[in-house]
């Protein structure tokens, strides 16, 4: 059995982006303060932190998508506070933001941390953006603590975990349109998680003459090798001479 687990420790070379909503700034500023304090505590340099203010929580996924595709971006931390009002406006915001943030992480393979408060009252939001930090296990310490600080720890842990995971390469989406039907079907299965592979190397022949776009099934390790059948010549038995 292989066990993978990240640690809250100084990250490798790269930067961490923090997207924070200006709406309900009294709350979000406290989230940001908790987040930055935790990052500095664990050795993240000031030059490796990018703070991006956006109008509200709805705009946070745009920043997460924008930076998550950068290979130098180690993680994106999303901070905001959506507090329920008289209408169902908060439900639509929360639904979109949570889904979009998850999609950004899945699309680019960069840790995107959900540090957005979704509270019914201002009191709940204040309790979750406080100075006192709580344990991660709420069954031991039920105090809400500071969600910004928790998000920073989650980001650092995921960054470290990412370095421990085995490298798995997938077919690039831009290549799908150029692949034969069989390869397209296989690549979709791989990218959907139905088929697991450890490595894949492809090479496109720019001077492709045979129309196969440099795609050779023999180069794909997960395809079953086709047995090459060789027809054996029948042995001719000498005819018996008549006596």
pLDDT in tens, 145-202: 899 999 999 999 999 998 888 876 665 666 655 656 656 666 666 666 555 544 444 4
Same domain flag for 243 and 146: no
Active-site positions read: 89
The dihedrals phi and psi of 77, each to the nearest 5 degrees, come to -105, 125
**Mean pLDDT lowest among 14-18, 115-119, 187-191, 232-236:** 232-236
Read off the pLDDT band of 86 (50, 70, 90): confident
pTM here? 0.67
More confident position, 243 or 13: 13
Residue where the block lists tokens 């998680």: 193
In Å, how far are 62, 98, 111 from 104, measured between CA atoms? 9, 10, 9
Which CATH number does the domain housing residue 143 bear? 3.40.50.960
Same domain flag for 153 and 174: no
Residue that terminates a domain, selected from 144, 164, 184? 164
Q: Furthest-apart CA pair in the chain: how many Å?
A: 116
Domain count, the chain: 2
Same domain flag for 51 and 84: yes
Residue that terminates a domain, selected from 164, 196, 214? 164
pLDDT in tens, 3-23: 888 889 899 999 999 999 999
46: containing domain: 15-164
Q: Burial of 191 by CB count in 10 Å (0-12 exposed, 13-18 middle, 19+ buried)?
A: middle
Q: Burial of 200 by CB count in 10 Å (0-12 exposed, 13-18 middle, 19+ buried)?
A: middle
Q: In the chain, what are the helix, strand and coil shares in percent, each to the nearest 5? A: 40, 15, 45
Mean per-residue pLDDT of the chain:
79
- Note the pLDDT of residue 55: 97
**Mean pLDDT lowest among 51-65, 118-132, 174-188:** 174-188
- Note the pLDDT of residue 134: 52
């Amino acid at each position: 059995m292989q066990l993978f687990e990240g640690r809250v420790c100084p990250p490798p070379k790269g930067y961490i982006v923090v997207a924070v909503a200006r709406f309900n700034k009294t709350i979000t500023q406290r989230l940001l303060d908790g987040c930055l304090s935790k990052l500095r505590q664990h050795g993240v340099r000031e030059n490796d932190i990018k703070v991006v203010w956006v109008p509200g929580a709805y705009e946070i996924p745009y920043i997460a998508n924008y930076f998550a595709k950068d290979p130098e971006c180690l993680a994106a931390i999303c901070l905001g506070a959506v507090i329920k009002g008289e209408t169902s406006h908060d439900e639509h915001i929360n639904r979109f933001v949570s889904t979009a943030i998850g999609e950004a992480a899945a699309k680019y393979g960069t840790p995107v941390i959900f540090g957005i408060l979704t509270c019914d009252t201002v009191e709940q939001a204040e309790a979750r953006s406080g100075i006192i930090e709580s344990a991660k296990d709420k069954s031991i310490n039920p105090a809400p603590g500071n969600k910004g600080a928790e998000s920073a720890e989650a980001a650092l842990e995921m960054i470290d975990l990412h370095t421990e995971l085995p490298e798995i390469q997938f077919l690039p989406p831009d290549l799908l349109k150029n692949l034969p039907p069989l390869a397209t079907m296989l690549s979709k299965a791989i990218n959907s998680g139905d088929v697991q592979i450890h490595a894949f190397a492809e090479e496109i022949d720019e001077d492709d003459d045979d129309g196969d776009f440099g795609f050779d099934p023999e180069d794909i390790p997960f395809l079953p090798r086709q047995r090459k059948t060789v027809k054996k010549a029948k042995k001719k038995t000498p005819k018996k001479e008549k006596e």
